[in-house]
Every structure is written in structure tokens, then in C-alpha cells.
Structure 1
Amino acid sequence: MNELLSKVISDWQLLHSIELIATLLALAYVFLALKQSLWCWPAALLSTLLFSHVMWDSALLSDALLQLYYAGMALYGWRRWQQYQQQHGKGQAPVFERPWQWHLILVSSTAIAGLVLGYFMEHYTHADFAWLDAQTTAFSLVATWLVAQKLVSNWLYWVVIDAVSIYVYAQKHLYFLTALFMLYTIIALVGYFAWRSHYQLQQTSTLDPARL
């Protein structure tokens, strides 16, 4: 009995130690992304590999698969941002935006994909919060791609995703993750206004006759 209790405590401590390290790396990623630093992507890669273990152990299967996608997107994002920097020299690479109609189509199609994933997770796996977790997973897939494309509105997607994730992780007693996503929500709001300001300056510079 004592050996079993010791193993449970040891496993719990290991899981939460991994969660803490992954959390710190994830924070580094978000702060670096806000600053448009290329080094956000290596931090993201290490964080997602650690979080994939935490999610799987917590039976959040959609999230576990999502972390593996994040790892792939970290490699893609690194290469994509490198290309932007090479195209624009030493100056800060531009950010971009799409019209609201484009986002409406994207949101609708992503929600449908989330319903399909939720149905599969609800009926064919032991996943908790199958429907809700599937929606955050689907939108996180899209939002991560938007970050790699440097679209300003990626941060608004993350505001909603992070707010919903707070509830899920709190229910699963993943305390570091709950605190992290509370902070994420705030950072996403800051990131949106920072990137929007950069975008508006770009537009002004483009229209300024003195720069033509």
C-alpha cells in the first residue's frame, strides 16, 4: 500500500513538474510572438512536446493530438518568419489582415470541423469534454496557422480559445495550465492591439506620399 501511494505521489509530481516547465516555455513563446521574435518558435516546439505528454495522461486526447500539430507548426512558423525577414531585410517584417467575410467563412468551416471531431471523440474515445475540447482544438489549429501567416486577427481567435480553455483545464485540476490560460487571454488582447498598431502604421506608411 505504501509503495503504491509513493508511486502515485511520484507520478503526480513528475506530471506537474513537466507541466510547469512546459508552461514556462509556452509563456516564453507568447511573449516572443508578441514581439515578433523568430525565437518564439523553438520555445513553442519544446513546450508542445512536453504538453503532449501531459494532455495524453489527462485523457484530453484532442489536446494531445493538437500539441503534435503545434510541434509541426513551430517548424513551419520558424521557416515562414525566416522568409518574411529575408524579404524585408533587417527591419521588422510586416503583419497582414483579411476582410471580415474571409474570417466568417473560416469560422463557420472550422466550427463544422469541430463538430465532426467532437462526434468522433464522444462516441469512439474516452475523451473528457469531447465536444468542447474538439472545438477549441479545431480553432487552435486554425489560429496557429494564422500566427505563422502573421495575421493581426489571430489574437482575437486566441482570446476566445484561451477563455474556454480556462474552464476545461480548471475542471481537470491542471492548475498551471489554468493560470497560464488566464494569462494567455490577457496577452492575446495586448498582442492584438500591438499588432493592429503595427498594421495601421504600415498602412499609413504605404499611403504617405513622402515615402513614395
Structure 2
Amino acid sequence: MTNDEISAGINAAWQAMSGLEVIAVILALAYLLLAMKERIECWYAALASTLIYTYLFWDVNLLMESALQIYYLAMAVYGWWQWRNMQQQDNSAHIQTWSLKQHSMAIGSVAILALCSGYLLSENTSAAWPYIDSFTTWGAVVTTYMVTRKVLENWLYWIVVDGVSIFLYIDRELYLTAILFVLYVVIVICGFFQWLPRYRQQQALTQANV
């Protein structure tokens, strides 16, 4: 594929974007930036963005993607509730890490679910890259939960999930979305390095008070 064809694809995608899609993208970026700063307002942005995407995906008959947004809606409400409780307990640092066992369970669950749903998609549908698509979907499900619990490593998981998603979107000639996910990867890397010193400070304070 030539550079001219890629450029034409990006221009066509940009022109095809609706006003609602633009708002949804802006809100999705706002969610990431606010989450990076541990601002509870990130969940308001996530809720609004997800509501718009639920409608947009349903409108173009991407039913599974639309159904996934329902999970994101629930996680936006749960994340807001969880973070608010942390604030009320005056536990502003409250960033946690998972043990190797927890990470093994999370990664193993994603792998098993991706293999199962990938097989079902490959046998019963004409889905493109069913196993990879399943991996990014289940990876996003687990990682979104990690964000609600303020698990430090969520940012590292997002690097992998979003990075693989870039490949999928380029393969499907969704170049504008691919560019958006490149930006996501940059933001989540920044998010990890913003949360890491806060977590270390929290640990230092905890040890000092022991």
C-alpha cells in the first residue's frame, strides 16, 4: 500500500466522521488524561464517551462492539463509585499493585477467553483476525477493571492492548482510528510514569508510619 493510498484513506475517514464521533473521541482522550491525573471527573468523560459510542456502533450494525460499550458504561459507574469511596476515606494515594499470582490469573483469563471466543468467531462468522480481535476485547475488559481499582500496571496492559489494536485498525484501513490509538499509547506510557512516583511515595509514607 502506497503513502498516497494511506493518505487518501485518512482523508476519507476524517470526512466521514460525524460530529458525534468527534465528541466521543475528544471525551475518550479527556478520560485518559484525567485518569492519568487521578481525577474522578475522568469517569464522567468515560460515561459520556461510551454512551455516544454505544449509539454509533449500533447505528452501523457493529453489535458486539455496541454490547461491549454496555460493559464500559457499567465500569464507568463502578469506577466513579470506587474512586469516590477512596476519596471519602481520605486515601488519596491508594494506588496499588498486583502480585505475580494476580497478574498470572488476569493474563491467563484473557488468553483462555480470547482462544474460546476467537474459535467461535472463526467457525461461525466471517470476522477478520478473530483471535487477535478477541484478545484486544478481553484485554480491554480486564484492564478497564484494573483502572477502577487503581492498579498501577493497568497502564502497561493498555500499552499492549492498544498497540495490538493499532495493527487491527491499519489492517482494516481505519487509519484515523489507528492514529488515535497511537496517541493513546503515548498517553498511557505517560500515565504509567505519572502514577509510578505517586505509588512509590505512598509506599515510603506507609513504611515510615510503621
TM-score tier, shorter chain, comes to 0.7 to 0.9
Aligned to 1:4: none
TM-superposed CA distance for 1:168, in Å, is 1.4
CA contact (8 A) 2:93 2:198 kept: no
Q: Is 2:107 aligned against 1:107?
A: yes
Taking a change above 3 Å as real, the CA distance of residues 175 and 51 of structure 1, as seen in their structure-2 partners, is farther
Residue type matched to 1:203 in 2? Q
Q: Distance in 2 between the 1:62 and 1:172 partners? A: 17
CA contact (8 A) 1:80 1:149 kept: yes
Taking a change above 3 Å as real, the CA distance of residues 80 and 43 of structure 1, as seen in their structure-2 partners, is same
Aligned to 2:70: 68
Aligned to 1:78: 80
TM-superposed CA distance for 1:52, in Å, is 3.0
Taking a change above 3 Å as real, the CA distance of residues 134 and 184 of structure 1, as seen in their structure-2 partners, is same
Q: Is 2:194 aligned against 1:199?
A: no
Instruction: Please say which of residues 185-194 and 125-134 is displaced more in the overlay.
Output: 125-134
Taking a change above 3 Å as real, the CA distance of residues 43 and 188 of structure 1, as seen in their structure-2 partners, is same
Percent identical among aligned pairs is 41
5+ residue gaps, structure 2: 1-13
Q: Which has the higher contact order (CA 8 A, sep 6+)?
A: 2
5+ residue gaps, structure 1: 1-11
Q: How many residues align?
A: 197
Taking a change above 3 Å as real, the CA distance of residues 120 and 64 of structure 1, as seen in their structure-2 partners, is farther
CA contact (8 A) 1:61 1:127 kept: no
Q: Distance in 2 between the 1:140 and 1:171 partners? A: 19
Q: What's the C-alpha RMSD, in Å, of the aligned pairs? A: 2.2
Residue type matched to 1:108 in 2? G
CA contact (8 A) 1:62 1:134 kept: no
CA contact (8 A) 1:60 1:128 kept: no
